[in-house]
Amino acid sequence: MAELNMADALNLALNQEMENDESVVVLGEDVGVDGGVFRVTDGLLERYGERRVIDSPVAETALAGVSVGLAINGLKPVCEMQFSGFSYQGFHQMEAHAARMRWRTRGGHTVPMVLRMPYGAGVHALEHHSESKEVFYAHTPGLKMVIPSTPRNARALLVSAIRDPDPVVFFEPKAVYRAFREEVPDEEETLPLGESRIAREGDDLTMISYGAMLHRTLEAADTLAEEDGVEAEVIDLLSLSPLDHARFAESARRTGRVVIVHEAHRSFGPAGEIMARLIEDAFYYLEAPVRRVTGFDTIVPLFAREQAYLPDQERILAAARGVLND
Amino acid sequence: MPRKRVRLEHAVEYLSILDEKGRVDEKLEPQIDKETLLDIHRTMLLSRRLDERMLTLQRQGRIGTFAPAKGQEASQVAAMAALTGNDWFVPAFRETAAMLWRGTPPENLLLYNAGYSEGGAIEEGTHDLPISIPVASQIPHAVGIGYASGLRERDEVTITFFGDGATSEGDFHEALNVASVLKTPVIFLCQNNHWAISMPRGRQSESRTLAQKGLAYAIPSLQVDGNDVLAVYSAVQEAAQRARDGEGPTLIECVTYRLTVHTTADDPSKYRDEEEVEKWQEREPITRLQTYLKKKRWLSDKQIDKLEKEIEEQVDEAWKTAHERIESLNDSQVIFDHGYAEMPDYLESQRQSFADRLKEGE
Ligand SMILES: Cc1ncc(C[n+]2csc(CCOP(=O)(O)OP(=O)(O)O)c2C)c(N)n1
Ligand SMILES: [Mg+2]
């Protein structure tokens, strides 16, 4: 058991999977000698050699497309896109092939690959380095879409993603990489993809979030307990696809009040889908309109104003109190 | 039917006019007037000093991450100097020196790097594009702009900048091919600075030169000493003439070197030796140009000292202005501006609730 930050926890997952399974290979820009720009792949080149840890030219279409080929021919590629904002050339391969290969070949060829990438705002990065466009991937049938929130669940989910028989897009909240440490067991640990968790228990209000915004949501939930005497249940989705709607629908039926928090843009964002599922599965139990606190429908601003874009305590609390008082 | 050779007459020229020691090949020496050369020199020096100041400001937490141009000033400034203000400039993200030549106020660069999009504002009618961070993504724009110049019968040439790493991207190859097929008046200027973050030039591509990638698309292509103002100027001048004569695109590989970090978020000690940097420090473009100018008696040490002081003041002044602007930019509502020509009502209501702050956005 060691106290690890998320970057180190992901590194542990990669190390153990590469150690246990020779078919796991890592590829990406600056993932070898440099150890990745966030150091998630640090030390892998030294341990597993350059045949299994591939420092690639700057070529995202090739990275994703080559990974499809590697996966078809028996390997388990873990491919890094340096930032989600540079994954779009790779998106083409994910949509056109990774997502469809099993379907097109009636199960004859499969693509057990992981496409990892940092996403999200909050670290004072450059333009194109702070977006949260998980819906592009979550919207694509055939792909799984995972977003961890803490070091320990990041490690366990990455192991599961590597072992999953289907292509998994794995978004890493870069604002969490080094934000805090958590005990992460040395022994192997996995978590099922497509299963959410209850990050905080409560019966008065359901708050749904994931990734970096989970932590702001938890902070708001604590404030509500202190200042309003309200116990909010906070659900950490962990996967957007498949979406574990049973858990949040059950919670919504119990509390009757729901707030959803994410940093992705508002229109056609994940909250829209979650609200639709609530209407399908919990409509008669809702005591107030569901509210969402999201990034705005603007380009993510340059860093001086990124906090203005992101959901903050004020906005989350206002939404929660609104739902409670409706 | 037999197996036979398809003869391709391909060779890549390497052009160098002013060498590291300050020696000039007089047969190749371009005729650049004194004023222009001194302007080139001044802009290169300004870029260098601004880079240095920005590095300090970044370390102090006053501005954010940026990509220094240090070492690449000749490739940028001499190229721009060979073109007119009416020609189009399509940069990547490391073209501080070229931007300064184009007249971008240093305070705007500081403001942008401090995280304010106001610093990226481009005056209407200016033939400059904003910086482009996704590697190689700007290259096709240059082809479109160039084709439009032709269609609109404008006497304009377009130059686009990108790195050695960018030549591995599909956008680069697709753009070159289209430019060649459509014979667009475009200059593709590759700054081969030998590194793409931690990836050395030798591992980026097995091609002996990056210039030869243009030859595959039947684009006249050459390598030049990118730290040699005279060579870069000549090559771009020639390419611009071809473009203006309707002969289509040119690819110029400027062989230069990234003398410092990739960006301020990068630690090169992880992947490269200081010795290599020191070796390239000797081929550094500014000192080389100064040697040339001194030999011509167009510049003296005393004048350099004076210029350094002027530039220091200019940079101080620029930061002061940028800082004052930052202090005055306290309304974050601007994040909603410039999304569309006309703000749709759903967005207007998001802006409104942001302004109200207390209401939750609907
Ligand atoms: C499409 C894309 N992929 C990855 C990145 C991350 N990245 C930024 S610069 C860079 C290397 C670029 O190298 P090069 O083209 O040689 O330009 P240089 O940085 O040397 O000026 C990479 C991989 C990016 N900005 N865009
Ligand atoms: Mg480079």
- CATH code where residue A127 lies: 3.40.50.970
Task: From chain B, pick out residues whose CB is under 8 angstroms from the CB of A128.
Answer: 133-134
Q: How far is the CA of B86 from the centre of ligand 2 (A)?
A: 28
The rounded Å distance from CA A34 to ligand 1 centre is 14
Supply the range of the domain harboring residue A207.
197-325
CB A101 within 8 A of CB A68: yes
pLDDT tens, position by position, A306-324: 999 999 999 999 999 999 9
Instruction: Give the span between the Cα atoms of A17 and A72, in whole angstroms.
Output: 19
Most A-contacting residue of B190, B335, B336 (CB-CB within 10 A), to test interface: B335
Q: What is the pLDDT of residue B362?
A: 42
In a domain, A70, yes or no: yes
**Residue B142 and residue B172 in contact, taking contact as beta carbons nearer than 8 Å:** no
- At B295 the pLDDT is 96
Tell whether A295 is covered by a domain: yes
State whether A93 and A172 are in the same domain: yes
Residues 40-69 of chain B whose Cβ lies under 8 A from any Cβ of chain A: 64-66
- A41 and A143 share one domain: yes
pLDDT in tens, A276-311: 999 999 999 999 999 999 999 999 999 999 999 999
The pLDDT value given to residue A258: 98
Residue A314 lies in a domain: yes
Cβ separation of A296 and B197 shorter than 8 Å?
no
- B273-295: pLDDT as tens digits: 999 999 999 999 999 999 999 99
Residue from B135, B161, B188 to probe ligand 1 pocket by mutation (most atoms less than 8 Å from CB): B135
B173 touches chain A (CB under 8 A): no
Is A189 a domain residue? no
Tell me, yes or no, whether A216 and A307 share the same domain. yes
Residues 178-207 of B with CB under 8 A from A: 196-199, 203-205
Q: What is the pTM of this model?
A: 0.97
- Residue A75, pLDDT > 70, answer yes
Residues A39-49: tens digit of each pLDDT: 999 999 999 99
> Is the domain of A180 the same as that of A219?
no
Q: Are residues A203 and A180 in the same domain?
A: no
User: Is A237 in the same domain as A294?
Assistant: yes
Interface contact flag, A305 B114, Cβ < 8 Å:
no
CA distances from B318 to A10, A169, B86, B128, B129 (A): 43, 44, 26, 21, 22
Residue A229 is part of a domain; what is its CATH number? Answer: 3.40.50.920
Query: Does B116 sit within 8 Å of A126, measured CB to CB?
Result: no
B38-42 long-range CB contacts below 8 Å, 24 or more apart?
B38/B293, B38/B298, B38/B299, B39/B81, B40/B77, B40/B78, B40/B81, B40/B101, B40/B229, B40/B233, B40/B289, B41/B286, B41/B289, B41/B290, B41/B293, B41/B299, B42/B307, B42/B311
**How far does A304 lie from chain B, in Å, by closest CA?**
5
Q: Which residues of A are catalytic?
A: 129
Q: Could you tell me the CATH superfamily of domain B13-330?
A: Thiamin diphosphate (ThDP)-binding fold, Pyr/PP domains (3.40.50.970)
Cβ(B70) to ligand 1 under 6 A? no
Minimal Cβ distance to A61: which of B170, B196, B270: B170
Flag whether A163 is in a domain: yes
Catalytic residue chosen out of the listed positions B10, B244, B271, B338: B271
A56 within a domain of the structure (yes/no)? yes
From the candidates B41, B258, B283, B288, give the one annotated as an active-site residue. Answer: B258
Provide the domain count of chain A: 2
**Arithmetic mean of pLDDT, A88-114:** 98
A29 Cβ inside 6 Å of ligand 1: yes
Mean pLDDT for A77-85 is 98
Which residues of chain A does B111 touch, with a Cβ-Cβ cutoff of 8 Å? none
Q: In the listed set A149, A184, A219, which residue is the last one of a domain according to the structure?
A: A184
**Is the same domain home to A43 and A150?**
yes
A134 shares its domain with A268: no
Locate the ligand 1 atom nearest the alpha carbon of residue B169 and give its number. Answer: 1
Residue A192 counted as domain residue: no
* pLDDT confidence tier of residue A22, bands split at 50, 70 and 90: very high
Q: A158 and A10, same structural domain?
A: yes
Residues making up chain B, counted from first to last: 362
Domain boundary among A154, A184, A214: A184
ipTM reported for the complex, 2 dp: 0.96
Residue A42, in any domain of the structure: yes
Residues from chain A contacting residue B197 (CB–CB below 8 Å): 29-30, 34, 37
**A89 neighbourhood in chain B, CB within 8 Å:** 169-171
pLDDT at B361: 43
Q: What is the pLDDT of residue A223?
A: 98
The pLDDT tens digits of the residues spanning A202-217 come to 999 999 999 999 999 9
Same domain, A32 and A171: yes
**Residue ranges, chain B, pLDDT below 50:** 358, 360-362
